[in-house]
Chain A
Amino acid sequence: MTHPHRWWWRIATVLAVGAAVATVSVGPWRVYGRATSATADTDPPSCPVGETLPIMDSPHISQAEASDVRYSSEPPTSGPHFPFTVTPGVYEDSVPDALIVQALELGDVAVLYAPATPPDLIGSMRRFARTHPADVVMAPHPGVHKGVALTGWGCLLRMSMFDEATATLFVTQVAGRYVHGWAR
């Protein structure tokens, strides 16, 4: 049993599937090509707040390869990273650099403090991080020996003491400034 307008339906179906494939392959909504790439832009705009650092080559690496990576800064602001990210929020233990770097590449900001930071100062930083639940990853970092380091993609701001006004300026200016794409 065949439909009287079967060829019209076939042509319409092929066009619809073709449009869907074209949408994910070319043009402004292209996602698939970007999703399979692991190379970030090497020349994002300079940082509005803090120090602008050169962007390292930033491929995806495995967990086993992470121990051999040497970043250009401590804490890192770019470089090799895992193909996974980390949920913005407060972490009580340190988070692997390769995860933090991926979060930075996706537009997040990290608030990384020295492990020996007094609890009351950690409390004030936590209150700050809680007010930015979509943008800030906060965790202790073994490479921060004193004070606090705020990092974004290619951006670093060191503070000897946590200052909420400066931190707020950094987050509002840097978070989402460079967003690489979800799966790179």
Chain B
Amino acid sequence: MARPSTPKSWEVLIGEQSETSAEVPATVRLLVIAPDGDEFILGRNDLGVYVAVPEPGAVFVRALQDGCSLADATARAGATAGAEVNGGEFLDGLRAAGLLDRQRAGGTSQTAESADGDGRSIRWFEGISPRTARVFFGRPAWALYVGAAVAAAMVLATRPALRPSYSHVWWLPDPLLSLVTYVLLGFVLAALHEVWHWLAGRSAGVPAAFRISRRGAYLVFETDLSQIVTVNRTARYGPFLAGMAFDVTVLAGALAARAAYGSGVVEIPPSLDRLLAAVVLALVIGIVWQWSALFLRSDGYAVLANALRCHNLFRATVLTTKWRIWGLSGEEAAEFGAIGPRDRAVARWFGLVYLLGMIGTLWAILIFALPFLLSTGAWVSANLAAYSLSSVAFWESLAVLVYLVAGVVGPAVIAWRERRLRRAGALL
């Protein structure tokens, strides 16, 4: 799941332009206003741009939307603030933030991130009604998800023989076919995980876009839930936790089937039992990842950032860590200064989580990824040299080699592309 877009602060809006314009653009009617604790989120769903402002800012915009003049709206905001405010300057801040831009053709709900500047994000919004989606996220559904999580945890705690093992990757007598099918299984489970995020977003009335991206050195599926910032924080937990709700439900089902098979209660093909073991392994790795890769903006990160009432914890943490170890450039220092005090306070200790996560990832690469890459790469290379084009082993080896190369090259290519787009201003 992608991190929500990061609203800018009120101070940035006020400080960005000195010359004001008294004209109120018609696009002010397109602004959405959502309460967010002590602040309000102002945003454009059609552009995917959001800012966090104090209450007077929300009062000001609402007054303009009600047809008040700039002077009347400023007066209302001033009354709320209990002090004199400059409505024209605030309006210019909104304009500078892009919130008063003309409506995008087709009303596509893209953020700069989700569109990646080339408009290739996939629109899923119209696919299913919120009412239908809510069937999967009502109280009975969440009771099922919580029950599944408890049941899965109990089975894993009390039945050691059913715990996942790395050997469960090789669930077929053909090691390369096992690897290929395990990778495909991982893709399917990851895609369904993201579909559940999307469904949950839909049930909350939030559009979402699906894409392939990277987190650190890993290729990942993502669901962009940028507009989640327009719903209250309590309602955000559902979309954030939906992917893991799907994971634990499938996990509980797979463990129950394996336990019943082992006890002789049900008869299933032995190959299905082994496939279920592979499913358990993939899901447990996925759930552990969500709660350990906080520094890679995992689902666990989104839940924690929401619970800690932060707007931009990821960037605050990155900049805090960089500040501590390397120092910040002028541009980064300006960005850091614009981040709210709450985010910066949390980032002081969240930076340690971030650092530990990076060290843990380095450890995992050295312990698992590198030896696996070297041994498998050597194995498939030997096969490619020894077998002819007409053999199954050759093509299986080629498929595994392509996967290994994609796993190494893919994140690097995406990182390079993101850097290029960011420099061109097409990516936030």
- CB neighbors of B among A1-16 (8 A): 1-3, 5-6, 9-10, 13, 16
Complex alpha-carbon distance, A129 and B262, angstroms = 9
Interface residue stretch chosen among A45-53, A92-100, A151-159, A160-168:
A92-100
Q: Kindly list chain B residues whose C-beta atoms are within 8 Å of the C-beta of A95.
A: 173
- Asked whether, in the complex, the Cβ of A17 is within 8 Å of the Cβ of B175, the reply is no
B218 located at the interface, meaning its Cβ lies under 8 Å from any Cβ of chain A in the complex? no
- Asked whether, in the complex, the Cβ of A32 is within 8 Å of the Cβ of B371, the reply is yes
- Asked whether, in the complex, the Cβ of B367 is within 8 Å of the Cβ of A1, the reply is no
- Asked whether, in the complex, the Cβ of A63 is within 8 Å of the Cβ of B162, the reply is no
Known: A35-B371, A63-B383, A89-B277. A182 touches B166 (CB 8 A): yes
Known: A6-B325, A83-B375. A20 touches B161 (CB 8 A): no
Q: Kindly list chain B residues whose C-beta atoms are within 8 Å of the C-beta of A32.
A: 366-367, 371
Residues 102-138 of A, flagged 1 when their CB comes within 8 A of B and 0 if not, give 0100101000000000000000001100111111000
- Asked whether, in the complex, the Cβ of B270 is within 8 Å of the Cβ of A90, the reply is yes
- Asked whether, in the complex, the Cβ of B359 is within 8 Å of the Cβ of A10, the reply is no
A88 located at the interface, meaning its Cβ lies under 8 Å from any Cβ of chain B in the complex? yes
Q: Kindly list chain B residues whose C-beta atoms are within 8 Å of the C-beta of A17.
A: 359, 362
B160 to chain A, nearest CB (A): 7
Complex alpha-carbon distance, A139 and B171, angstroms = 13
Known: A60-B375, A87-B277, A89-B273. A13 touches B325 (CB 8 A): yes
Q: Give the nearest-CB partner of B336 in chain A.
A: A1
Q: Which of B166, B175, B264, B371 contacts A36 (CB 8 A)?
A: B371
- Asked whether, in the complex, the Cβ of A133 is within 8 Å of the Cβ of B262, the reply is yes
Known: A9-B325, A99-B170. A183 touches B362 (CB 8 A): no
Known: A85-B167, A132-B161. A6 touches B379 (CB 8 A): no
Known: A6-B327, A35-B367, A99-B175. A20 touches B382 (CB 8 A): no
Of listed B168, B171, B175, B273, residue having the most chain A CB within 10 A: B175
- Asked whether, in the complex, the Cβ of B323 is within 8 Å of the Cβ of A1, the reply is yes
Residues 62-103 of A, flagged 1 when their CB comes within 8 A of B and 0 if not, give 111100000000000000001111111111111110010001
Q: Which of A82, A92, A99, A127 contacts B379 (CB 8 A)?
A: A82
- Asked whether, in the complex, the Cβ of B173 is within 8 Å of the Cβ of A130, the reply is no
Complex alpha-carbon distance, A10 and B327, angstroms = 11
Complex alpha-carbon distance, A64 and B387, angstroms = 8
**Number of A residues whose C-beta is below 8 Å from B?**
53
Q: Which of A86, A96, A103, A130 contacts B261 (CB 8 A)?
A: A130
Q: Kindly list chain A residues whose C-beta atoms are within 8 Å of the C-beta of B325.
A: 3, 6, 9-10, 13
Q: Kindly list chain A residues whose C-beta atoms are within 8 Å of the C-beta of B379.
A: 60, 62-63, 82-84
Q: Kindly list chain A residues whose C-beta atoms are within 8 Å of the C-beta of B277.
A: 87, 89, 133
Residues 373-411 of B, flagged 1 when their CB comes within 8 A of A and 0 if not, give 011101100110111000001000000000000000000
- Asked whether, in the complex, the Cβ of A133 is within 8 Å of the Cβ of B162, the reply is yes
B263 to chain A, nearest CB (A): 8
Residues 240-253 of B, flagged 1 when their CB comes within 8 A of A and 0 if not, give 00000000000000
Known: A1-B333, A64-B387. A83 touches B376 (CB 8 A): yes
B135 to chain A, nearest CB (A): 35
B311 located at the interface, meaning its Cβ lies under 8 Å from any Cβ of chain A in the complex? no
Known: A63-B383, A133-B161. A92 touches B270 (CB 8 A): yes
- Asked whether, in the complex, the Cβ of A3 is within 8 Å of the Cβ of B355, the reply is no
Chain B interface helix/strand/loop/mixed? helix
The bracket for how many chain B residues form the interface is 35 or more
Complex alpha-carbon distance, A96 and B382, angstroms = 18
Complex alpha-carbon distance, A74 and B144, angstroms = 51
B328 located at the interface, meaning its Cβ lies under 8 Å from any Cβ of chain A in the complex? yes
Known: A31-B367, A183-B372. A130 touches B170 (CB 8 A): no
A119 to chain B, nearest CB (A): 14
B309 located at the interface, meaning its Cβ lies under 8 Å from any Cβ of chain A in the complex? no
B8 located at the interface, meaning its Cβ lies under 8 Å from any Cβ of chain A in the complex? no
Q: Which of A13, A16, A99, A127 contacts B264 (CB 8 A)?
A: A127
A131 to chain B, nearest CB (A): 6
A24 located at the interface, meaning its Cβ lies under 8 Å from any Cβ of chain B in the complex? yes
- Asked whether, in the complex, the Cβ of A89 is within 8 Å of the Cβ of B371, the reply is no
Q: Kindly list chain A residues whose C-beta atoms are within 8 Å of the C-beta of B333.
A: 1
Residues 23-41 of A, flagged 1 when their CB comes within 8 A of B and 0 if not, give 1100000011001100000
B373 to chain A, nearest CB (A): 11
- Asked whether, in the complex, the Cβ of A1 is within 8 Å of the Cβ of B359, the reply is no
Q: Which of B165, B332, B367 contacts A24 (CB 8 A)?
A: B367
- Asked whether, in the complex, the Cβ of A1 is within 8 Å of the Cβ of B262, the reply is no
A-B contacts, 20 of them at CB < 8 A, read A1-B332, A3-B324, A13-B325, A13-B355, A16-B355, A16-B356, A17-B359, A31-B367, A62-B378, A63-B387, A64-B383, A64-B385, A85-B170, A87-B167, A87-B169, A90-B270, A92-B270, A92-B271, A126-B270, A134-B162
Q: A87-B274, A89-B270, A134-B165 are in contact. List 18 more A-B contacts (CB 8 A).
A: A1-B327, A2-B327, A3-B323, A9-B324, A16-B355, A17-B359, A20-B363, A24-B367, A32-B367, A62-B383, A82-B379, A86-B170, A87-B169, A99-B173, A130-B264, A133-B258, A133-B277, A135-B161
Residues of B within 8 A of A (CB): 160-163, 165-171, 173, 175, 178-179, 258, 261-262, 264, 270-271, 273-274, 277-278, 323-325, 327-328, 330, 332-333, 336, 355-356, 359, 362-363, 366-368, 371-372, 374-376, 378-379, 382-383, 385-387, 393
Q: Which A-B residue pairs are the 10 nearest by beta carbons?
A: A64-B386, A62-B382, A90-B270, A84-B175, A9-B324, A134-B161, A1-B333, A2-B327, A83-B375, A1-B328
